[in-house]
């Protein structure tokens, strides 16, 4: 082996190591942030660990909108329907059937995924905004049905949902439950990021950006949209199951249209085309919720209980006007520009 060949192989290995480091660095930073949340939220007066749990649950539910809306270009107003499906399955099967929580959650996710697949087989034969309208109707219908059936507890809901006990360890407080939900969020981020980086993600991008060109190249557009819809449904159901065991209570409001809009706002404000968008968006939305509940009433007694909706709307308008890629997308662009500028400066210095 010649010296030139050895140097070339060394450069190749170094490039691979740098590429691997660039890929793993965001995960490492994200993991560090997740581990720091309890230390911060237990000391900052505005937040509680309950907020941390709720943020992670919302981020998981909104994460499914990244491949569906961000890449495939399909707007769904029915995430809450699948969120409620997972929540009700966990609640009913554990409370009324005595099934352990993990199998109940898996059954809820499988049911939501199967329903999304069957629903998508007929829905994606057409084009346009039919998904938004159909999922809007689906959520409204399921909300009404859940409030009427005896098995769902009617308007009273299902109470006494047991806490999760992974590996036999009972989770009694918000701190311990946060670590479980954070672990699920980390796994979900890795899975969705791997999906959008793969050839499936590239085909979803083609479907969303240029559907006619994608069809002419042999991509089954309906199948790709259906895949993204199933992923979104499964993640929403997983979040719903986690919510049910955390809140110990489920009612028809878990399928409310307001929750679907909230999840769409979370993904849009954070960045609909990056897996970090729902995480950032969940932090922003829960922060606005805390501000509206704790600070607004001190400013004026006339502020109602739905003041957070005004803040959500303002945040959405500002992001759409000034940061169309969302907060995470904007931050990613800034980091890339700084990286390119530094690389250019290093190359100039080398010359």
How many domains does the chain divide into?
Answer: 1
How much is the pLDDT for 133? 87
Q: Is residue 181 part of a domain?
A: yes
Name residue, tokens 């989770």: 171
What is the spatial distance between Cα 244 and Cα 235, in angstroms, rounded to a whole number? Answer: 14
Look at residue 347 and tell me whether its pLDDT is greater than 60. no
Q: Is residue 82 part of a domain?
A: yes
Q: Is residue 343 part of a domain?
A: no
Q: Is residue 294 part of a domain?
A: no
Mean pLDDT within 188-208: 93
Q: Is residue 288 part of a domain?
A: no
Quickly count: other Cβ atoms within 10 Å of residue 235's Cβ.
Answer: 32
The domain in which residue 121 lies consists of 47-257
Q: Is residue 168 part of a domain?
A: yes
Output b/e per residue, 52-67; b: 16+ Cβ within 10 A: bbbbbbbbbbbbbbbb
Q: Is residue 112 part of a domain?
A: yes
More confident residue, 304 or 46: 46
Name, in order, each residue with C-beta under 8 angstroms of 310's C-beta and a sequence gap of 6 or more: 292
Q: Residue 158: helix, strand or coil by DSSP?
A: strand
What confidence tens digit (pLDDT) does each residue in 111-123 have? 999 999 999 888 8
What is the spatial distance between Cα 259 and Cα 261, in angstroms, rounded to a whole number? Answer: 5
How much is the pLDDT for 238? 97
For 94, phi then psi, to 5°, come to -85, -40
Report pTM. Answer: 0.91
Most confident segment among 221-235, 286-300, 309-323? 221-235
Q: Are 84 and 258 in contact (CB under 8 A)?
A: no
In which band, very low, low, confident or very high, does the pLDDT at 129 lie, cut at 50, 70 and 90? confident
In which band, very low, low, confident or very high, does the pLDDT at 24 lie, cut at 50, 70 and 90? confident
Mean pLDDT of the chain: 87
Q: Is residue 93 part of a domain?
A: yes
Mean pLDDT within 250-256: 91
């Amino acid at each position: 082996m010649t010296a030139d060949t050895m140097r070339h192989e060394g450069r190749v290995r170094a490039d691979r190591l740098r590429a691997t480091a660039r890929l793993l660095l965001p995960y490492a930073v994200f993991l560090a942030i997740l581990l720091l949340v309890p230390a911060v939220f237990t000391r900052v007066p505005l937040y509680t660990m309950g907020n941390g749990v709720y943020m992670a649950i919302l981020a998981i539910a909104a994460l499914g909108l990244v491949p569906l809306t961000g890449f495939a270009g399909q707007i769904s107003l029915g995430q809450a329907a699948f969120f409620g499906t997972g929540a009700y399955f966990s609640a009913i099967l554990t409370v009324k059937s005595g099934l352990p929580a993990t199998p109940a959650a898996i059954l809820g996710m499988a049911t939501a995924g199967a329903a999304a697949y069957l629903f998508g087989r007929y829905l994606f034969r057409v084009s346009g905004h039919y998904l938004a309208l159909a999922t809007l109707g689906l959520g409204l219908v399921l909300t009404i049905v859940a409030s009427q059936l005896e098995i769902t507890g009617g308007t009273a809901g299902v109470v006494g949902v047991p806490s999760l006990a992974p590996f036999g360890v009972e989770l009694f407080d918000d701190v311990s439950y946060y670590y479980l939900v954070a672990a699920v969020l980390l796994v979900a981020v890795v899975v969705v990021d791997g999906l959008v980086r793969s050839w499936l993600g590239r085909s979803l991008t083609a479907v969303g950006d240029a559907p006619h060109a994608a069809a002419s190249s042999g991509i089954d557009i309906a199948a790709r949209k259906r895949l993204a819809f199933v992923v979104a449904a499964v993640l929403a159901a997983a979040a719903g199951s986690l919510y049910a065991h955390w809140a110990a209570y489920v009612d028809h409001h878990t399928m409310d249209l307001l929750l679907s809009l909230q999840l769409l706002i979370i993904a849009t404000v954070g960045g609909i085309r990056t897996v970090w968008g729902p995480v950032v968006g969940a932090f922003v939305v829960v922060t606005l919720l805390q501000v509206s509940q704790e600070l607004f009433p001190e400013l004026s007694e006339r502020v109602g209980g739905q003041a957070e909706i005004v803040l959500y709307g303002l945040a959405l308008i500002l992001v759409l006007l000034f940061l169309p890629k969302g907060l995470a997308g904007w931050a990613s662009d800034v980091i890339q520009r700084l990286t390119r500028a530094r690389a250019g400066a290093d190359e100039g210095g080398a010359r």
